[in-house]
Amino acid sequence: MTVWDRNLDREFPNRSYEDNTMIRIMSAFILAMISALCGAVGQEIQLAEGAPNRHIVVPGDTLWGLAGKFLKEPWRWPEIWRMNEEEISNPHRIYPGDVIVLERDVQGTPRLRLQSIRLVPQIYSTGVKDEIPAIPPNLIRPFLSDPLIVEVSSLDRAARIVATQQDRVYLGNGDLAYVAGADPSRPDWQIYRNGRPLHDPDNNQILGYEAFYLGTARQLEPGNPATFEVVTMKQEIGRGDRLLPAIRPPLVAYVPHKPRFQVNGRVISVYGGVDTAGRGSIVTLNRGARDGIEIGHVLALERNRTVVERDENDTKVRVPIPPERIGLLFVFRIFERLSYGLVVQSESTVDVNDFARTP
């Protein structure tokens, strides 16, 4: 019996054995939770094996790649830079040629800083330098502009092709389409076809639709129907296909960081119509802006497993085992109820219905 237990017995001498047992169980649980929380708060930053003392940024570097070069847990990137919340949303830009230096403060805690370089006046010609991206832009560029996910509410407002040039079945570049319900003030549009619904595995609600991106069109003459010209075609375009105004999501400085709250989402789709993903794959999560998800959030991909055992009566029982981490996900585009993520690390295949949780 511990000191804690003896104190409880002296305080409440008339309790039953069952009451004593229940209080001790609850007390042990509370103490364990406090200990776990204290340990998480005081967790030290762990450097990656072979972390360099300095690194010269080169074209092709990404924030995620640099984070993994210095840290075992790349999502703690803002901590080692000593960023506050505002700086995470609007970070200092890092350009090729910058020198990142790893140093320690008086307490021995590692931190990063950009080394200032004294410039000597000279005459030279060079192109405009672009800051390094958070993740490889070639992997996510189509997903930043193409409406590959359509919110449920958008379908009711979407314009529709009601007739084609000379009654053609399918349209190509330069062909004309006649569109009902188009906003006359919007010249540039994107064409898509309704895809399969995306269901939330928690409650089976439809969160949106996976759209098949078909191409782009330009409005030539407003009206109802309005006259459109097909500008680019990626797949066959015909009657019934839908149009949405072309949008360019704002460029956001993505900083890899851990959510400040517990996320318990699911992978509900893998781009390409397959059920498994790996490193470099794009997946859709059943969590979005309304759930607090932000661009730059890093989530742990986990798989909940159960094993079948036999009990003392030789009856089969399902025994859950602790979740198994299978990778990391970087959120790069969010919708109201859904979000896109890039699988940046994977130790095995990522499957539909795997979990996406706070690391």
- Report yes or no on 20 lying in a domain: yes
Between helix 3-11 and helix 17-41 the angle, nearest 10°, is 130
The 10s digit of each residue's pLDDT in 105-126 is 888 889 998 886 544 455 444 4
Say how far apart CA 267 and CA 341 lie, in whole Å.
9
- Report yes or no on 168 lying in a domain: yes
CA proximity to 285, closest of 241, 354, 338: 338
User: What pTM, to 2 d.p., does this model score?
Assistant: 0.73
Q: Coil, helix or strand for 194?
A: coil
The residue written with tokens 């609007």 in the block is 90
- Report yes or no on 48 lying in a domain: no
Does one domain contain both 30 and 64?
A: no
CA proximity to 358, closest of 296, 293, 298, 291: 298
One-letter amino acid at 16 equals S
CATH number at residue 352: 2.40.10
Beta bridge partners of 341: 283, 331
Does one domain contain both 210 and 269?
A: no
Say how far apart CA 158 and CA 164 lie, in whole Å.
18
How many beta carbons lie within 10 A of that of residue 270, not counting itself?
A: 20
Does one domain contain both 231 and 299?
A: no
- Report yes or no on 253 lying in a domain: no
Does one domain contain both 105 and 156?
A: no
Say how far apart CA 268 and CA 109 lie, in whole Å.
39
Examine the fold and report which residue of 245, 275, 309 is the final residue of a domain before the chain moves on. Answer: 245
* Backbone φ, ψ for residue 155 (5° rounding): -65, -35
- Report yes or no on 256 lying in a domain: no
pLDDT at 341: 94
Q: Coil, helix or strand for 8?
A: helix
Does one domain contain both 171 and 210?
A: yes
Question: What's the first-to-final CA gap in the chain, in angstroms?
Answer: 36
Does one domain contain both 97 and 175?
A: no
Does one domain contain both 8 and 69?
A: no
- Report yes or no on 180 lying in a domain: yes
Note down the domain range covering 29: 3-40
Does one domain contain both 61 and 33?
A: no
Q: What is the tally of structural domains in the chain?
A: 4
Examine the fold and report which residue of 180, 212, 245 is the final residue of a domain before the chain moves on. Answer: 245
pLDDT at 219: 96
pLDDT at 12: 46
- Report yes or no on 120 lying in a domain: no
- Contact (CB, 8 A) for 256 and 282: no
Examine the fold and report which residue of 93, 115, 137 is the final residue of a domain before the chain moves on. Answer: 115
Residues 6+ apart with CB under 8 A from 100: 54, 55, 56, 57, 66, 70, 94, 112, 113, 114, 115
Say how far apart CA 308 and CA 179 lie, in whole Å.
57
Does one domain contain both 35 and 80?
A: no
Does one domain contain both 204 and 237?
A: yes
Does one domain contain both 165 and 211?
A: yes
Listed as ranges, residues in the chain with pLDDT below 70 are 1-42, 90, 116-129, 147, 153, 155-156, 248-252
Beta bridge partners of 233: 215
pLDDT at 308: 73
Does one domain contain both 222 and 270?
A: no
Q: What is the DSSP string of 158-177?
A: -EEEEEEGGG-SSB-TT-EE
- Contact (CB, 8 A) for 296 and 255: yes
10 Å CB burial of residue 356 (0-12, 13-18, 19+) is buried
pLDDT at 249: 64
Say how far apart CA 91 and CA 89 lie, in whole Å.
6
- Report yes or no on 91 lying in a domain: yes
| Lookup: tokens for 233 | 């075609």
